[in-house]
Amino acid sequence: MSIVRIACLAALAAAAFAAENNTFLLRNATVHPVSGPAMENASVLVVDGRIAEVGAKIAPKGKVKVIEARGLHVYPGMIDSGSPIGLAEIASVRETVDTGEIGDFNPQLRALIAVNPSSEHIPVVRANGITSVLVTPGSTGGGRGGAAGSLIAGQASLMHLDGWTWEEMEIRRGAAMQMTWPAIQMPRGRGGDIEAMLPGLAARRITFAEARRNQQQQVQKIQDFFDAARRYQKAKAAGEAVQPDLRYEAMIPVLEGKLPVMITAVREREIREALDFAARERLKIVLAGVRRPGKALEEIAKRNIPVILGTTFVPPLEEDDPYDDPFTLPARLHQAGVKFAFASFGTQFARNLPYQAAQAVPFGLPYDEALKSVTLNAAQIWGIDAEYGSIEKGKYADLIVTDGDPLEIRTQVKMMFIRGAPVDLESKHTRLYKRYSARP
Amino acid sequence: MRRMILTAVFLASGLPAADITVVQNGTIHTVTKGTFKGSIVIRDGKIAEVGEKVMTPAGARIVDATGKHVIPGIIDAHTHIALDSINEGSVSVSSMVDVTEMLNPESVSIYQALAGGVTVCNSMHGSANSIGGRNVVFKMRWGADARGLVFDKAKPSLKMALGENPKRQGSPQGLQIPGLSPPQNLRYPGTRLGVEDVIRDAFTRARAYQREWKDYETRKARGEKLLPPRRDLELEPLVEVLEGKRLVHAHCYRADEILMLIRVFDDFNIRGVTFQHVLEGYKVAKEIAERGHYASTFSDWWSYKVEAFDAIPYNAAIMHRKGVLVSLNSDDAGGAELMRRLNTEAAKVIKYGGLSEDEALAMITINPAKQLAIDQWVGSIETGKDADLVIYDKHPLSIYSKVEKVFIDGRQYFDRDEDMSRRPKIEAEKEGLRKKLLDQQKQAMPQNRRPS
Amino acid sequence: MRKNSLPALAAALPVFAFLITAALAETVNWTAIRGARIVPVSGPVIEKGTVLMRNGVIAAVGAQVDVPASAWVIEGNGLTVYPGLIDALSTWALPQPAQAQPAAARGAQPQQPPQQQQQQPQQQQTRSWGPRDRPGTFSWVKAADQLQPGDPRLGQARNAGFTSAAVFPRQGIVAGHGAIINLGGKTAGDMVVAPEAGLYLALRPSGYTGFPSTPMGIMAYFRQLWFDAGHYRQALALYAADPVNIPRPAYDRALEGILGAKRVLLPAADPVQLERMLGLAGDLKTPAVFYGAVRGYEMAARLKETGTPVILNVRWPTRDRDADPEDQDSYRELRIRDLAPTSPAVLSQAGVKWAVSSDGLDSPRAVLRALKQSIDRGLKPEDALRALTLSAAEIYGAADRLGSIEGGKIANLVLADGDLFNDSTRVRMVFIDGVRYLPEPEAPAPQGAPGRGPSHSEEEQ
């Protein structure tokens, strides 16, 4: 791997590797710290993987390798706030998928331990400027990952997109508990569709009362599980002898409000119920997958609940929704004062994370917010902003060097550093490109 | 629905008396004849003049495009939108069905696509069968009925499919049909070998059928009294393919199956096939180009199934460089999603492979037009072509651009400002209807137990 | 008068009952309704007049009619006489599906009108691989062969003023041939007015698996079936002319059934489906009658242009009671709900021939209530009545015998104590083939519920 790295960077940073691998001066670039205004003709000094200094004139002590970046731009590496990357290779082949474990409650599962550092997705995604990902253990839908609808899927882990092992990739193993708030599910589809529906399918339709009962049973299960976990926590705190239970152990940081719960809630009703539940249980939560917050948006803002938005590249949910509804949602959240970040919630389009954010800009989201939503906001939401998410002194040097705005499709990522170490930007795709371009 | 409001708006404002519109002072991306600052004169739905300086006839409606970008209407060569059913997935050869009959002009996806700058699309039968059904090319004339949508000049076409999808029902782990146990459930073919066989067999039968009719006509002309052959709706479209009267769009992924179909079509002398998806087309670009076949692909899809694991975003660029006529498509079904941002999908061939802006735009305009054999009417901004135009506020290959206006046949079918101002009106109308119906329901007798 | 009688019932009604023996059957039987308000539909209302029936057929109608001395006379003071109502698309008197569910369970599947419930998939273990397997095809089935005079729904229908119906089998996609029937008679044979009313086609894949599995597959299949039938006809003709040299075509009951179809009934719920079905009907080269038309208010111009009659489903859509309360109705749904009851008025105004189906309604009386809603939205009462009588008869080519009060037509009459569309109006009696039927007690149970007694008729002299 490092050999490829060297080959890749040789053109740009020929003399770079004389000194240690994660100490260098990146010079004469436009630096976009995200936390503040852009600086032209500026430099970034990285020492032992951390940003030591950012500014126009930097005089490094001693001999430091210099990377010339004239005409290029430096940004913090982007963060994908939810993706099964490393856990899922080919979405339709069960054997390659390790999301969606069987069972309703699996808080003890930790995403990072099955992250495959050799996944072909990793180089593909980072080539577009993404340096870290919140790897989620939950099902990615379609029931393809096994149990489709678990309520607590496990612990999501923040991972760097580089490393020889998953331990080397780790930023934070327990970054969030992944949970889904059950929705009242009624088979939809009226009119023409039902006409074409096979009678067997049509007969499977259920009433709203039944659907609500099903949902309430699920909610009750969640309540029961939290109650049991709390009894376990109290008993343990009181020094009583308890039968050790890994599931309840894993819940203790959640109950203490230390570990955020990332709750998927798409529509207003689920959001409302999730917010109420979180308040009752005094949980620290992050909402995910929000599509139609409705009146709950005010409440989300009032209670400072951060939101992880999925892709903007979806059609509107309802027939009557404005055609641009998914494009304007980020701006609406921003106007309401809600802090949000973006997630790809998938593998094959994870590399399009920056475009997902950018799509909201022509529809009302300020550009700076779009950029933050894939960098600093994500770091803040996941509590790693002391070390990641912007180009500031003391933070880790997760950097990308580009020939332009990284949210714009035509922009090329020229260099990437993770904790100051240069990262290979080749992938399966570039290799096949070269190979077959050369086919006689 | 929106279209009713639309109609109302048109009636209120009245059509321009002279039916002449001039799009003025925009950056015109003609795609085939360069890009420049200029204007376009639309007369009776056609582009009458385009250039840096044009004559503005008196009484013409003026559309100011200063600071804006104009491109030809986007053409999506592969969708399944606005169809009430897509796959007649019961049989491996379903050429008797025609999705034109399933075109639903009220599907809001048409409006969504329109709002994304798409003016023409090829909405196709699905990929469940080796030989699928007949497809429909239509314009996004939102508000028209099905007959009014169909782009009747387009050459008819037939869908085919290779690989995982058509063989799925031949696998015991594949699609299960309720009520049928596996042996009856299994549908031939279950392998790529069988897919070739089904296709060869179908075209062999079609040839025999063609001969049968010719023999009949000859004998009838000689005055013989004889029974005509039984008309076979499955084979008729295949005969049209053999006779060059019907195009083929073939869903495919892997290089081996692409080459297989090229060779089968060599044997049956079938030309002008558009390989759809064709994600490994870059591996056999030479062979595709040699026969003059076409490719319509995704910008950057990959890894969603095994046969898509070698897909690369450089596919379009490689195929293009090796002489294949390439378009980019959305494959949208249900709602319009990807198709409404094909402009930025095109930008990806600049990112991945370094093609030019014109080459990128061609892949969503003139190239798909050629693949659908409609390029003499649409696909570029040229005098005499249909006035299918999209006005963007910024460069259309930028993610920050958005569609402001769309014209089809010279008529404005989308205007973002109008759309925005319509929203509160529709909400108010809905509220009124809700109240009215609630009042009626209160008075009504309990007979209407059943829902809509 | 008909030959058969039900002595027990007759005896239970001693005031009117004169038992007719077989020996008297050849006598001419006269019945007169005198002094009633008569609405003939085919002509102007007669404020006070007489309808004279002779052996089950209307002999005369007018303000002044000579009534034979032997006639049984009914004083019609305060009553209005209408032609018997016709349900233009019905399953009355046809066997109900074995798996008919109780009302509560039906409510659980609110989106399915009853005729769709009849199409539960049978435990079939064969898969159709194409048109040659004749999937879902019952073109040899005739409703006229399946009538059940004991169907308890007939009494309910008569109570609401219905005396005739066009009934169609509903299984599969080529469901079979309908019949025009009277809703009374001792035997199934008595009930039949016309044994061939048309072939009922559905676009819903059901009751079989395999081809065709989509509406487009079904449409393609219909075309192939009709082509095959045409080919079969040619083959039979050639064979008949030259049985020595031409091979004998194999008998095909499915194709025989297609060749015998006078017309096809096709679904057209909305303008979109209407266009599809107009195309299909054109290809089948068979006259079409469309059914459904929930959005008839948008279909009038096209129906008029093509001269196609339509049978309205008058189960006006309402918000699903079972809907998620937070589920907002779409603009489209709200408009349909608002405008559906205006379809009759719009169709009448455009001059489209339309009739009415009881499909999906809880009771026959609900048909009248539904039309009353339309009258409140601008439908002329006389147009509503015409749809229920003469228009229905005309659509099926039975207007020579049904649909109006005219001399020579079958004596199917309704006697009501007021305007038919007024909810407080009661039907006092109906005549079917000149036989009087008195109202039966309204059952609290819904249609099709088991345990109801047989049909209730009497004979008069």
Q: What is the pLDDT of residues B358-383, one digit of tens each?
A: 999 999 999 999 999 999 999 999 99
**Do residue A338 and residue A427 come from a single domain?**
no
**Do residue A196 and residue A256 come from a single domain?**
yes
Predicted pLDDT at C208 = 65
pLDDT tens digits for range A287-323: 999 999 999 999 999 999 999 999 999 999 999 999 9
Q: Residue C167 domain-assigned? A: yes
Q: How sure is the predictor about C324, in pLDDT bands with cuts at 50, 70 and 90?
A: confident
Determine, for residues C227 and B90 on separate chains, whether the beta-carbon distance falls below 8 Å: no
Taking CA–CA distances from B236, the nearest residue in chain C reads C224
**Do residue A200 and residue A344 come from a single domain?**
yes
Tell how strand C209-210 and strand C127-128 pair up: parallel
Q: Residue C54 domain-assigned? A: no
Distance of residue C342 Cα from the nearest chain A Cα, in angstroms: 20
Range of the domain at C206: 85-400
Chain Cα centroid distance, residue C412:
15
Chain Cα centroid distance, residue C28:
31
pLDDT tens digits for range B66-96: 999 999 999 999 999 999 999 999 999 999 9
CB-based contact (8 Å) between A219 and chain C? no
Taking CA–CA distances from B349, the nearest residue in chain A reads A410
Element (H, E) at B62: strand B61-64
Predicted pLDDT at C318 = 87
Predicted pLDDT at B398 = 98
Predicted pLDDT at A187 = 65
Tell me the average pLDDT across C62-88. 96
Mean model confidence pLDDT for chain A: 90
Predicted pLDDT at C126 = 76
Rounded CA gap, C388 and C399, in Å? 12
Q: Which of B104, B111, B452 to mutate to test the interface with C (most CBs of C within 10 A)?
A: B452
Residues composing chain C: 461
**Do residue A49 and residue A167 come from a single domain?**
no
Q: How sure is the predictor about C435, in pLDDT bands with cuts at 50, 70 and 90?
A: very high
**Do residue A133 and residue A214 come from a single domain?**
yes
Predicted pLDDT at C323 = 82
Range of the domain at A132: 78-388
Is the pLDDT at C41 greater than 90, yes or no? yes
Chains sharing 3 or more CB pairs under 8 A with chain B: A, C
Predicted pLDDT at A42 = 97
Question: Per residue in A218-247, is it b (16+ CB within 10 Å) or e — as a string?
Answer: bbeebeebbeebeebbeebeeeeeeeeeeb
Taking CA–CA distances from B108, the nearest residue in chain C reads C332
Tell me the average pLDDT across B408-433. 97
DSSP code string of C33-65:
EEEEEE--SSS--EEEEEEEEETTEEEEEESS-
**Do residue A100 and residue A185 come from a single domain?**
yes
Taking CA–CA distances from A317, the nearest residue in chain B reads B335
**Do residue A379 and residue A422 come from a single domain?**
no
Q: The tokens of C348 are what?
A: 């009448």
Rounded CA gap, C456 and C439, in Å? 9
Q: How sure is the predictor about C461, in pLDDT bands with cuts at 50, 70 and 90?
A: very low
Domain total in chain A: 2
Contacts of residue C268, Cβ cutoff 8 Å, sequence gap at least 6: C274, C277, C290, C291, C292, C293, C299, C310
* Contact of B95 with B234, CB cutoff 8 Å: yes
Q: Is the peptide bond before C212 cis (omega within 30 degrees of 0)?
A: yes
Chain Cα centroid distance, residue A405:
20
What are chain B's domains? 1-73+379-452 (2.30.40.10), 74-378 (3.20.20.140)
Q: The tokens of A376 are what?
A: 């600093």
Determine, for residues A190 and B452 on separate chains, whether the beta-carbon distance falls below 8 Å: yes
Task: List chain A pLDDT tens, one digit each, 440 residues.
Answer: 444 444 444 444 434 444 468 999 999 999 999 999 999 999 999 999 999 999 998 887 788 999 999 999 999 999 999 999 999 999 889 999 999 999 999 999 999 999 999 999 999 999 999 999 999 999 865 433 333 468 999 999 999 999 999 999 999 999 999 999 999 987 654 333 333 444 444 555 678 899 999 999 999 999 999 999 999 999 999 999 999 999 999 999 999 999 999 999 999 999 999 999 999 999 999 999 999 999 999 999 999 999 999 999 999 999 999 999 999 999 999 999 999 999 999 999 999 999 999 999 999 999 999 999 999 999 999 999 999 999 999 999 999 999 999 999 999 999 999 999 999 999 999 999 999 999 99
Domain boundary among A388, A408, A428: A388
Q: Residue C62 domain-assigned? A: no
Q: Residue C244 domain-assigned? A: yes
Q: Residue C134 domain-assigned? A: yes
Q: Residue C7 domain-assigned? A: no
CB-based contact (8 Å) between C453 and chain B? no
Chains sharing 3 or more CB pairs under 8 A with chain C: A, B
Q: Which of B310, B399, B426 sits opposite A408 (nearest CB)?
A: B399
Q: How sure is the predictor about C328, in pLDDT bands with cuts at 50, 70 and 90?
A: confident
**Do residue A63 and residue A102 come from a single domain?**
no
Domain total in chain C: 1
pLDDT tens digits for range B44-53: 999 999 999 9
Taking CA–CA distances from A85, the nearest residue in chain B reads B303
Q: How sure is the predictor about C131, in pLDDT bands with cuts at 50, 70 and 90?
A: very high
Amino acid at A25: L
Q: How sure is the predictor about B171, in pLDDT bands with cuts at 50, 70 and 90?
A: confident
**Do residue A410 and residue A346 come from a single domain?**
no
Determine, for residues A199 and C207 on separate chains, whether the beta-carbon distance falls below 8 Å: yes
Q: Which residues on chain B are in Cβ contact (under 8 Å) with A363?
A: 402
Count of A-C CB contacts under 8 Å: 55
**Do residue A353 and residue A415 come from a single domain?**
no
Q: The tokens of A157 are what?
A: 């882990």
Q: How sure is the predictor about B176, in pLDDT bands with cuts at 50, 70 and 90?
A: low
**Do residue A140 and residue A259 come from a single domain?**
yes
Q: What is the CATH number of the domain that holds A268?
A: 3.20.20.140
User: What is the SS3 assignment for A409?
Assistant: coil
Chain Cα centroid distance, residue A247:
24
Rounded CA gap, C204 and C136, in Å? 10
Q: Which of B112, B334, B398 sits opposite A408 (nearest CB)?
A: B398
Tell me the average pLDDT across B241-260. 98
Predicted pLDDT at C245 = 87
Q: CB atoms < 10 A from the CB of C186, how many?
A: 17
Predicted pLDDT at C116 = 39
Q: Which of A199, A269, A319 sits opposite C332 (nearest CB)?
A: A319
Q: What is the CATH number of the domain that holds C152?
A: 3.20.20.140
Task: Indicate the pTM of the whole model.
Answer: 0.91
